[in-house]
Structure 1
Amino acid sequence: MTSLAFAATGAAKEAGETQLLTLVADQVASRLFAKDATLWGPEAETESAIRLGWVEAAEVSAPLVEQIAALRAELQAEGVNHIVLCGMGGSSLAPEVITATAGVELTVLDSTDPDQVRAAVSDRLATTAIVVSSKSGSTLETDSQRRIFEAEFTAAGIDAKARIIIVTDPGSPLDGFARESGYRKVFNADPNVGGRYSGLTAFGLVPSGLAGADIAALLDSAEEAGEMLRDDDVDNVGLRLAAALGGTNPLRNKIVIVEDGSGIVGFADWAEQLIAESTGKLGTGVLPVVADTNSPEVVSGAADVLVVRLVAGDSDVELGENEVSIAGDLGAQMMVWEFATAVAGRLLGISPFDQPDVEAAKSAARGLLDATPAPTPALFTDGAIEVRTANHDAEWLAGAGTVEQAITALLGTLAADGYLSVQVYLDRLANAPLADVRNDLAAVSNRPVTFGWGPRFLHSTGQFHKGGPAVGVFLQVTGAAQQDLAIPERPFSFGELISAQAAGDATVLADHGRPVLRLHLTDVATGVAQLKTVVATLAGQHSDA
Structure 2
Amino acid sequence: MGELLAAPAEAAAGLAVYGAREVDAGAPASTRQALVDADVPARLAAKDPTLWGPEAATGAAAGLGWVDTHRRSRELLPQLAELTAELADLDHVVLAGMGGSSLAPEVIARTTGRPLTVLDTTDPGQVRAALSDRLERTVVVVASKSGTTVETDSHRRAYWQAFLDAGMTEAEAGRHFVIVTDPGSPLEAVAAELGAITVPADAGVGGRYSALTAFGLVPCALAGVAVADLLDQADAFAASLGRTEGNPGLALGAALAAAATAGRDRVVLLADGTGVEGLGDWVEQLLAESTGKDGLGILPVVVESPDSPGVGGGELLTVSYGGALAAGDVPAPGTAAPDIAVNGPLGAQFLAWEYATAIAATVLGVNPFDQPNVTEAKEHTAAILAAGAPAPAPSSVEGAIEVYTAPGAPGDLAGALRHLLDGIGDEGYLAVTAYLDRHADATAARLRPLLAGATGRPVTFGWGPRYLHSTGQYHKGGPQVGSFLQVTGTVGVDLPVPGKPYSFGELQAAQAAGDRQALAGRERPLLRLHLTERSAGLAQLLDAVGSLRA
Q: TM-score range by the shorter chain?
A: over 0.9
Q: Distance in 1 between matches of 2:325 and 2:112?
A: 20
Q: Distance in 1 between matches of 2:18 and 2:308?
A: 21
Residues 230-276 of structure 1 deviation map (CA, whole Å, 9 limit, x = unaligned): 22x14411111111212224231100011113311100000000000
1:321-358 CA-to-partner distances (Å, cap 9, x unmatched) read 87111111111100000000011100100000000000
Aligned-partner SS, 1:137:
coil
Q: Does 1:83 align with 2:93?
A: yes
What secondary structure is seen at the aligned counterpart in 2 of 1:63? helix
Pairing 1:175–2:188 present = yes
Mapping 1:482-493, distance limit 5 Å? 482-493=492-503
Q: Is structure 2 residue 310 aligned with structure 1 residue 297?
A: yes
1:28–1:296 Cα change, 3 Å: same
- SS in structure 2 at match of 1:166: strand
CA separation of 1:128 and 1:99: change in aligned 2, threshold 3 A: same
Structure 2 residue matching 1:481: 3-state secondary structure: coil
Shift of 1:181: 3.1
In structure 1, the partner of 2:86 is 74
Corresponding residue for 2:63?
A: 51
Identify the residue that residue 394 of structure 2 maps to in structure 1: 378
Q: 1:239 and 2:255 equivalent?
A: no
Report percent identity of matched pairs: 50
1:506 equivalent in structure 2:
516
Q: SS state of the match for residue 288, structure 1? A: strand
The normalised TM-score by structure 1 is 0.94
Task: Say yes or no: does 1:166 pair with 2:179.
Answer: yes
- Structure 1: runs of 5 or more not aligned: none
Q: Residue 528 of structure 2: SS of its match in structure 1?
A: strand
TM alignment of 1:472-483, pairs within 5 A: 472-483=482-493
User: Which range is displaced more, 308-317 or 493-502?
Assistant: 308-317
Match of 2:266 among 238, 249, 254: 254
Contact 1:296 1:442 in 2 (8 A): yes
| Partner amino acid, structure 1, of 2:443 | P
Instruction: Tell me the distance in 1 between the aligned counterparts of 2:524 and 2:338.
Output: 29
Task: Tell me what 2:124 maps to.
Answer: 114
Name the residue aligned to 1:265: 277
Is the alpha carbon distance of 1:12 and 1:448 closer, same or farther for their aligned partners in structure 2, counting shifts above 3 Å? farther
1-structure distance, mates of 2:308, 2:29: 29
1:466 & 1:106 partners in 2: Cα distance?
31
1:16 and 1:244 in contact (8 A); partners too: no
1:204 counterpart residue number:
216
> Displacement of 1:24 after TM fit?
1.6
The normalised TM-score by structure 2 is 0.93
Instruction: Tell me which amino acid in the other structure corresponds to 1:80.
Output: L
Q: Residue 31 of structure 2 contacts residue 255 of structure 2 at CA under 8 Å; is this kept in 1?
A: no
Question: What is the CA distance between 1:214 and its match in structure 2?
Answer: 1.3
Question: Is residue 2:23 matched to residue 1:7?
Answer: no
Distance in 2, matches of 1:44 and 1:242, equals 19
Q: 1:264–1:16: structure 2 CA closer, same or farther, 3 Å change rule? A: farther
Q: Is the 8 A contact 1:5 1:313 kept in 2?
A: no
Counterpart CA distance in 1 for 2:194 and 2:174 is 7
- Is the contact made by 1:12 and 1:324 (CA closer than 8 Å) also made in structure 2? no
What does residue range 16-415 of structure 1 map to in structure 2 within 5 Å?
18-76=30-88, 79-158=89-168, 159-183=172-196, 185-231=197-243, 233-248=244-259, 249-291=261-303, 292-299=305-312, 301-302=313-314, 304-317=315-328, 323-389=339-405, 391=406, 394-395=407-408, 397-398=409-410, 400-401=411-412, 403-415=413-425
CA contact (8 A) 2:97 2:143 kept: yes
Query: Could you say what secondary structure the match of 1:533 adopts?
Result: helix
For residues 505 and 62 of structure 2, the distance between their equivalents in structure 1, rounded to whole angstroms, comes to 37
Structure 1 residue 16: deviation in Å? 10
What are the Cα deviations for residues 456-490 of structure 1, in whole angstroms up to 9, with x where unaligned? 00001000000000000000000012200001010
Report how far residue 429 of structure 1 moved: 1.1
The 2-side partners of 1:315 and 1:457 are apart by 34
1:77-119 superposed Cα distances (whole Å, 9 cap, x missing partner): xx21101000000000000000010101000000000000000
Q: CA offset at residue 407 of structure 1?
A: 1.0
Name the CA distance, whole Å, in 1 between partners of 2:27 and 2:17: 14
Residue aligned with 1:178, SS: helix
Q: Distance in 1 between matches of 2:105 and 2:495?
A: 26
Distance 1:16 1:33 in 2: 27
Q: Unmatched 5+ residue regions in structure 2?
A: 1-11
CA distance in 2, matches of 1:433, 1:525: 9
1:423-445 deviation per Cα after TM superposition (whole angstroms, max 9, x unaligned): 00001011112211211100111
